[in-house]
Structure 1
């Protein structure tokens, strides 16, 4: 499977954006010097999730799914199991941030049932999730359901509820089934992204002015991690626009984006390492963020991932996922050896 550098760039931005959401000194006033850092909150994790769907598409054959379905499913489930275990280990460190990996793993498993769905069906299913998921999640939270079990927390909890966030992966799978090198596909994605931004955030902005009933406002706000239809649609639009921009920049100026692409290629390692560092430094770096600490996270990550990528290729956790999932795939659905040609 040949890597698409633009996807790595987008994933790298998502990882750095999550660093920013956790330790960035974002001010309340958007127009202040650091207020613009607010854009990373929620949208970075949404990018990470949508690109998980793209990765699933690439693992199963990309634009034309050629990998046997059993093998693709086995590899994805194996990766999900390892990601989930890594996530649980990171959660045990007790950092004051919500670790996305366990929910990410659950949604990765759920996505195996949709690997052969046509793009239109995937987009339609994502729309159904966007419309039905948020009200169900809101009702479950009011009933206290997330507090009853860890699985319920993953499905309808406060952060990354699968019943809502699964929409990102379905859209990502549809995107990964497209020819991302084709100009017409990029124009469609760009137009769809712009439309989603206008519909999602525009609807929310109008509703916040016109609607005063608290329950309805809770379903129409587009605040980060509100898990509403308006937030998901708006975030999806942002991700699509960013992805198209990353694909174009990676083609035109590959050296310029090499460090960010390296971070994207080592996304799991970079993400896990930053959680470990947060646990080492203590909660103060999250609750009392400083510009110097944030810049240190970003710069060290860019330098370290670039050096590792140039010297050793896959990151340590990425190498583990590749080897284990390939081994599982070989046991479930071995790839036939090519017949020698005389």
Structure 2
């Protein structure tokens, strides 16, 4: 990947929105909608294909893009005071995002809400915010490969079982259970998922408006995704892992198993699977790679194409608002159909386009952004921004 200068130019990626990032973020949001709404890969026609493509990859893309956004938002902080303020802003942003997630669960969400985990992951990456691209890339890949091994060892030693009950505001009175669920045993355990944000931070260091850089991101992502998939296949096939797992969990265990953040600890061979949401090294590296490939491809789209995609970019510019509205709209309904998905996507496109044209930033993005900016200004000892 081609690195940009340490300090962003006045009109560089940190100063303006990168349309490709918004388009990739919209793809992540729509992909998560598909997983929440469609009945599965057995959905008829294109719905089944979309579900298969999005399963596990959409949420990974969402997390990688969180890292990109953090990198773009903080990269221009140069002085110690500015960096202290930027860290405070990131912490406040993460707390508010996590709070929105807990409230969504309290509201009766039928989906596994990613936001509490997402918000906590912000705090984990604070020490890495201004690391250079190459070092970040190495740490991110190492994190995605090794963190699942640490998780497996800790869960096995402590006999920690997966938590399918989602954290709510009431869990703030149970800090031990809350910490365990968010970091190790929940749907999106931060111990592994923080690696996605680190990967996004590394990508934020390159000029994504450069076709050469975007092509490098796409190529690196595609290569990583393919290598992870091939490595899993080799270990499970010629390596003998599938036979062991079939003996542990029954015939076709690998093909039939469904994971929700972690794998069982009754055999180390589970760490070789690449199944969606298994949280193994191969799953995280594959989905991290596909996230880079999608981002690179989105940034390579020519202006002649992106000019017609403003409604899609508008959705990507307010992902917290659109995701929250989507989750709330699903509360109290069990409908699973391509028609419902189409309604949610259409509603998001219309709302985001109109709101962005009339108001600008999404409502939740505006509240979270202003609160985080005020905290950053207070810590840095400068006036709070206006507007």
TM-score by length of 1: 0.90
Query: Which of the pair is proportionally richer in helix?
Result: 1
Aligned to 2:341: 294
Indicate whether 1:331 and 2:378 are aligned: yes
Instruction: Report if aligned partners of 2:145, 2:285 keep a CA contact under 8 Å in 1.
Output: no
Instruction: Report if aligned partners of 2:214, 2:297 keep a CA contact under 8 Å in 1.
Output: no
Q: Which runs of 5 or more residues in structure 2 are unaligned? A: 1-14, 164-175, 246-266
Aligned to 1:154: 182
Instruction: Report if aligned partners of 1:6, 1:251 keep a CA contact under 8 Å in 2.
Output: no
Stretch moving more, 18-27 or 313-322: 18-27
Aligned to 1:35: 48
Q: Which runs of 5 or more residues in structure 1 are unaligned? A: 338-342
Aligned to 1:229: 281
CA deviation after TM superposition for structure 1 residue 333, in Å: 0.7
1:196-251, CA deviations, whole angstroms, 9 ceiling, x for partnerless residues? 02111121233332322222441111111010111111111111111111112263
2:195 to 163, 167, 170: 167
Partner Cα distance (1:88, 1:316) in 2: 18
CA deviation after TM superposition for structure 1 residue 140, in Å: 4.0
Stretch moving more, 204-213 or 16-25: 204-213
Matches within 5 A, 1:224-303: 224-249=276-301, 251-279=303-331, 281-282=332-333, 284-285=334-335, 289-303=336-350
2:221 to 184, 190, 193: 193
2:137 to 123, 142, 145: 123
Indicate whether 1:7 and 2:21 are aligned: yes
Aligned to 2:160: 144
Aligned to 2:103: 89
RMSD of the TM alignment (CA)? 2.1
Aligned to 2:258: none
Stretch moving more, 203-212 or 37-46: 203-212
Partner Cα distance (1:206, 1:299) in 2: 42
- Size of the aligned set, in residue pairs, is 329
TM-score by length of 2: 0.80
Partner Cα distance (1:260, 1:191) in 2: 24
1:244-280, CA deviations, whole angstroms, 9 ceiling, x for partnerless residues? 111122634222221111111110000111111111x
Give secondary structure in 2 for the equivalent of 1:274.
helix
C-alpha distance 184-278 of structure 1, shift in aligned 2 (>3 A): same
CA deviation after TM superposition for structure 1 residue 94, in Å: 2.8
Instruction: Report if aligned partners of 1:87, 1:102 keep a CA contact under 8 Å in 2.
Output: yes
2:352 to 280, 292, 305: 305
C-alpha distance 86-250 of structure 1, shift in aligned 2 (>3 A): farther
C-alpha distance 97-216 of structure 1, shift in aligned 2 (>3 A): same
Partner Cα distance (2:186, 2:271) in 1: 14
C-alpha distance 222-322 of structure 1, shift in aligned 2 (>3 A): same
Give secondary structure in 2 for the equivalent of 1:117.
coil
Matches within 5 A, 1:14-53: 14-28=28-42, 33-37=46-50, 38-53=52-67
Give secondary structure in 1 for the equivalent of 2:125.
helix
Partner Cα distance (2:68, 2:304) in 1: 22
Partner Cα distance (1:217, 1:32) in 2: 34
Partner Cα distance (1:250, 1:137) in 2: 42
CA deviation after TM superposition for structure 1 residue 154, in Å: 0.7
CA deviation after TM superposition for structure 1 residue 25, in Å: 3.9
